[in-house]
Amino acid sequence: MYRKIRKHHIHFVGIGGIGMSAIASVLLELGYKVSGSDIRHSSTIQRLVKLGAHISIGHKPENVHGADVVVTSSAVSKQNPEVLEAMRVQIPIIPRAQMLAELMRLKRFGVAVSGTHGKTSTTSMIGAVLEAANIDPTLIIGGQVKSLGTNARWGRGEFLVAEADESDGSFLYLTPSIAVVTNIEEEHLDYYKDLEHIKQTFTNFLKKVPFYGAAIICGDDPNLLECAKFIKKRTITYGVSEGNYIQAKNIQYKGYGSSFEVWKDNEFLGDITLKVPGLHNVRNSLAAIGVGLELELPFEVIRSGLERYRGVGRRFEILLDTEELTLVDDYAHHPTEIQATLKAARACFPGRRLVVLFEPHRYSRTLALMDAFQTCFDEADRLYLTEIYPASEKPIVGITGRRLASTIQQKWGGEVQFVQDPFLLPEKVMEDIKPGDVILTLGAGNMGKIGKTIAELVNEQKAIKATI
């Protein structure tokens, strides 16, 4: 049983976004009337329409008429015509995180996963562990989980597992029983003043855990260890370094995955084999193990869930894998994420040329992390870089993709080619690739589409050759 939210008609401004669509689909499953708007059609919108949502393309004042509440995300401007109309007619306007908090209150236990990197993968891994335990959790995730074919589901069990977006501080609406934080770095400096502000906000998030709950944090991260000093709740650390309560040892990378030993408080629990690559995913899985152990699940059940885990869309997603070419698509857009993805690629494809296509995301991020971008492509052999994807931002004078390309070229010394329009990349890259190349499309804007276009071009060429 659960207590229904009283408001019956819920309208989402920007419903096609990955986080907004997840909440909308769960509300549809619960029987609410859901409407929304977005600037363009997408497969996500098509799926929501099939579930019963009424969605308008384009933002118009009349779209909010009849709604009991309007939900917005940090990407939605306060000057959006639907937001202005909702204010005029006195319809309550709430951030996405507040609606997520309401959903979390419908369940007995909430698990919220935050951090600068790895939230989506970690959240979905926790979901896989709980599903293996037949807990039937509700999942609200910022990516398409391959085993589900969607980014959200309403479960009959007592647990809700959600990705908690820290970008605008609104994750402080959440009051989870278990709070997981993967790492803390400088990011979203359009909202946060500096790293100290970020650490204080995460500390406040961890403090929201009740006395009977737990904070599960990566003990390899010095910023998180600083935050932990101020947390007077049960705190569990995980990582690969000595001193962590849950630790991975003897890590071996095999093909597209890895295997490692799991130790808890210096006690050997067993081995685990993952089907997703990279040290970052080893750490993500340790967070999921921490949640499972906190819930007193048998290690065999935890291992079963993680070994069946197949990943999330746009997280080292193999779009094409032939003898001549491998194509990998990844959401990485922060220097740390890029570096982790390329290290994983180097481990998966030793001796092969790594050709990277990168679209910078947001002017503010490019400005704040210009120095870090200079060294994060060290594992690449060739780099194509496009103009900056603005998201909702206005341009910053002097901050361009061309400047970033020039800066990287000077520091890195590798081959950087600037291609202003990302949609010109597929044909350009097809002219330059060599047998055995690994192409990686990286970015949070258009690159998912670019990767699919390249895969289509390669398959077309193969089909033509087959007819000759």
Answer whether residue 4 shows pLDDT above 90: no
Residue 111's contacts (CB-CB under 8 Å, 6 or more residues apart) are: 126, 159, 160, 161, 162, 176, 177, 178, 179, 180, 291
The predicted structure's pLDDT at residue 323: 84
**Residue 120, annotated ligand binder?**
yes
Q: Is 119 a catalytic residue?
A: yes
pLDDT value of residue 461: 81
Is 19 annotated as a binding-site member?
no
Asked if the model's pLDDT at residue 1 lies above 50, the reply is no
Residue 208 pLDDT level (bands cut at 50, 70, 90): very high
Sequence-ordered alpha helix ranges (H) in 361-424: 363-368, 370-373, 401-412
Q: What is the pLDDT of residue 5?
A: 56
pLDDT at 462 exceeding the cut of 90? no
As a whole-number percent, the residues of the chain with pLDDT over 70 amount to: 97
Catalytic, out of 72, 120, 123, 182: 120
**Has 407 been labeled as part of a binding site?**
no
Query: Is 163 annotated as catalytic?
Result: yes
- Exposure string of 278-287, with b = 16+ CB inside 10 Å and e = fewer, is bbbbbbbbbb
Domains in the chain, ordered, with CATH?
9-94 (3.40.50.720), 107-308 (3.40.1190.10), 317-467 (3.90.190.20)
Q: Is 120 a catalytic residue?
A: yes
Q: Does position 7 have pLDDT exceeding 90, yes or no?
A: no
- Predicted pLDDT of residue 6: 60
Which of these is catalytic: 119, 201, 337, 386? 119
Summarize the confidence of residues 62-66 as an average pLDDT. 98
Q: Is 119 annotated as a binding residue?
A: yes
The active-site residue, picked from 163, 337, 359, 387, is: 163
CA distance 366 to 399: 7
